[in-house]
Structure 1
Amino acid sequence: MKGSSMTTHMGNITIDNEVIGQYAGTVAMECFGIVGMGATVKGGLVKLLKSDSITKGIAVTLNNNKLTLDFHVIVAYGVSILAVSDNLISNVKYKVEEFTGIEIEKINIFVEGVRVID
């Protein structure tokens, strides 16, 4: 199990990176302008990930007891990418830090594509 751990006065707590990624992905999907998580497949094509494989679009790393999250997202056509990114960063930072108790050092956003929403 590759996870993030912290020590408290009562013992050690280890949170699997997959759990952090799943939670962060769920929070990200609630943000306005995010269509979904994307993953690059063969030939440079971008695939929209289904909600059950959302963690493939998120990388979680822990360095010096601080988290770094990399999001590969697909945004809605016609929205401001800067506004969507700012919203994503603030929501994810607040909710993931509250959920895990681990400080987030950095959130990187990679826009993999744009989709028209019906």
Structure 2
Amino acid sequence: MTVKINTKDGQIELTDDVIATVVGGAATEIFGVVGMASKSAIKDNFNALLRRENYAKGVVVTAAEAGICVDVYTVMSYGVKISEVSKNIQERVKFNLEHQLGISADVVNVYVQNIKVVGE
């Protein structure tokens, strides 16, 4: 899926990979997030953290009525309050999408795929 933005000079198309890079970068900046996980990590039995170039595997973008719906698959640090970290991810993702790409996210769903003990 691509998001199309019409401007006075023409049309801009944003691919899912561009959106996933912005979303993944925003999510990994939050305290308590260890990294991004694959959206099919449980099914594939794959627990590795995704690197920046693979954020698209941990973000699902779908079209909504007025904007987009974003699913973010994360790995969080042990001992953090998951609800607060998730809320911070939602706010940061919406902010970054609006200010960096000029698109609005109607819904940002945060899925916790794993909990890691940092330092081990």
TM-score of the aligned structures, taking structure 1 as reference length: 0.89
Aligned to 1:62: 63
Instruction: Compare the two structures and name the one with the higher strand fraction.
Output: 1
Conserved in 1, the CA contact under 8 Å of 2:59 and 2:73?
yes
Percent identity (aligned):
31
**How many aligned residue pairs are there?**
117
Aligned to 1:53: 54
Do the aligned partners of residues 42 and 17 (structure 1) sit closer, same or farther apart at CA in structure 2, a change above 3 Å counting? closer
Per-residue CA distance 1:65-111 (angstroms, 9 max, x = gap):
41111011000000000110011111111111111111110001110
Aligned to 2:15: 16
Conserved in 1, the CA contact under 8 Å of 2:72 and 2:111?
yes
Aligned to 1:111: 112
Moved more, 50-59 or 87-96: 50-59
- State the shift of 1:27 in Å: 1.1
Find out whether 1:27 has 2:26 as its counterpart: yes
- Aligned amino acid, residue 35 of structure 1: V
Q: SS of the counterpart of 2:5?
A: strand
Conserved in 1, the CA contact under 8 Å of 2:30 and 2:89?
yes
CA-atom RMSD in angstroms: 1.6
- State the shift of 1:9 in Å: 2.5
Do the aligned partners of residues 47 and 12 (structure 1) sit closer, same or farther apart at CA in structure 2, a change above 3 Å counting? same
Q: SS of the counterpart of 1:46?
A: coil
Q: Distance in 1 between matches of 2:83 and 2:42?
A: 26
TM-score of the aligned structures, taking structure 2 as reference length: 0.88
- Aligned amino acid, residue 15 of structure 1: L
Conserved in 2, the CA contact under 8 Å of 1:41 and 1:47?
no
Find out whether 1:87 has 2:88 as its counterpart: yes
- Aligned amino acid, residue 26 of structure 2: V
Do the aligned partners of residues 51 and 13 (structure 1) sit closer, same or farther apart at CA in structure 2, a change above 3 Å counting? closer
Aligned to 1:77: 78
- State the shift of 1:45 in Å: 4.6
Q: Distance in 2 between matches of 1:91 and 1:73?
A: 14
Conserved in 2, the CA contact under 8 Å of 1:75 and 1:111?
yes
